[in-house]
Structure 1
Amino acid sequence: MIAALPFPNIDPVLWSVDIGGFTLAIRWYALAYIAGFLLAWWWGNRAIRNAQLWVNDTAPMTLKHAEDFLTWAIVGVIIGGRLGWVLFYSQGAWLDDPTMIYKVWEGGMSFHGGFLGVVVVAILFARKYKIPVLSLADILALGVPIGLGLGRLANFINAELWGKPTTAPWGVVFPNTPDCPLTWLDPVCARHPSQLYEAILEGIVLFALLAYLAYRRGWLKTPGALAGVFFMGYGAARFFVEFFRQGDAQFTSATNPWGHILRLGQEVDSIGFTMGQLLSLPMIAVGLLLLIYARRTSSTT
């Protein structure tokens, strides 16, 4: 008999109230974003206060800088995340309906897009306030895994982005899986809880690794090194988990010509790259190059 874990069926909406026909709701996903930003800001401030962690025992920015950058980061994540989803995952639907670009409340955010958005605003912020951009990148690298972990937990609560079918005893029976031939309560419908895999690898493991390198190994004294490890760590974790995660339906060979070449998609036996893997490979490469550059630059100064 196939064993499986039932989905806890947590309501994605923590609290809601109807006001004149308009529903005001507080969702776990929104709370994950808010908590992620605030905890990352707090963790970054902790590193800034510890001057001994930095080159010449001097933090690269002030606490006021960190407070100001929080707003910039929020804007970068929201705009970049939405544009990334529209460009990477909407199959060009925005060309027929350009208004969908700003309809964030309808869902659809891309981590890679949000990440690029933060990179852009970080470069602009560093230039504006004359902050070493690589050291700012290191501070961001310390805090981002917190938001990643919380975001993946929110994905699990929303019963979205689930994994491929599995017979593993820790498989979870998610509601509304489209290809389940029986009632969703049947164990044969169990799937990998890939959201939790990502929460562990991209959140807990990556956070612990970066904290160890920063506080125990002194890597913040080599500007850019920690950011390089983050790039590689996230890219490798996401690439690995994609083997267990249900592929994106818009990239199946039936709906996308590239699917015949790359075998993108949601087929159970798909062995080709998914869109998430394609977007993660450049991150791994950039992270490696950044780490090499940081090490070489540090050794010559």
Structure 2
Amino acid sequence: MKIKQSLGEKTFDIGNILFLALMCIIVLIPLLHIIAGSFSSTNALIHSQVKLWPVEFNFDNYGQVLNNSFFWNSFRVTIFITVVGTIINLLLTVLMAYPLSKSGLRGRKIVVLIIVFTMIFSAPLIPTYLVVKSLGLINTLWALIIPSAISMFNVILCLTFFKSLPEELFEAARVDGMSEYGILFKIVVPLSVPILVTLTLYYAVHHWNSYFSAMIYITKPDLRPLQLYLYSMIAQGNTNDVSSNIMEELDTSPEGLKMATIIVATVPIMFIYPFIQKHFIKGTMLGSLKE
């Protein structure tokens, strides 16, 4: 049954749609410009002829990026960090959130208070660096995974979702002799697919886009993740991985290579979202509610 809206509600909906459409356009314009530039010729880029559509269409920039061994090495590093880091993140988050979702747990309030404290007051950079160095993690990929192995915000989100699950189901499993680990991995986890998919996306995007930690802890070129590789190209103007002769022969330019690299580095993480959109929206909504 269609609900009749008042004039004020209709006005609000129209204004909301127009505002969101404007925000989408503002976000899309720079992205469209980068896509157009990545497919444009060097001459068009030099003379600033590229706006939102490619000028003198060519694939040379992408061909050079995809044939660049430095790019693929950084890509493999980022894949490893994203996959391994996300698995560790999810495992630790679930193992911490499940016991804290039980109101009868002793010391629960103190632990939750400590969690909230760490969300407000984060550790300074220098002490964190000294801890990572003392553990011998400098110039290792674990330096990009272990310090951010768990997010307290995501723990609270997961904890809130677990509390919404019926306790009677767990009591019945305990009566049948199932252990707490069995309840967690055979009952809680299958019922928590929406929130786990949401957390997977949060953690994966964080690892994929992270570059600051690598800039602090990584000095070896062969351990650079993709975002640090992009940073060296864009912020520092480093395109030394490609010789000038190849650029002239293939009609590529530093600016075009930067744009093509940005697109190639962005597409994989953007490609994932449409397949998990349903679970992501459901998990975000359910994880934010409290009984």
Return the structure number with greater helix share.
2
Bigger radius of gyration: 2
When normalised by structure 1's length, the TM-score is 0.28
Kindly indicate whether structure 1 or structure 2 has the higher relative contact order, using CA contacts under 8 Å at least 6 residues apart: 2
Return the structure number with greater strand share.
1
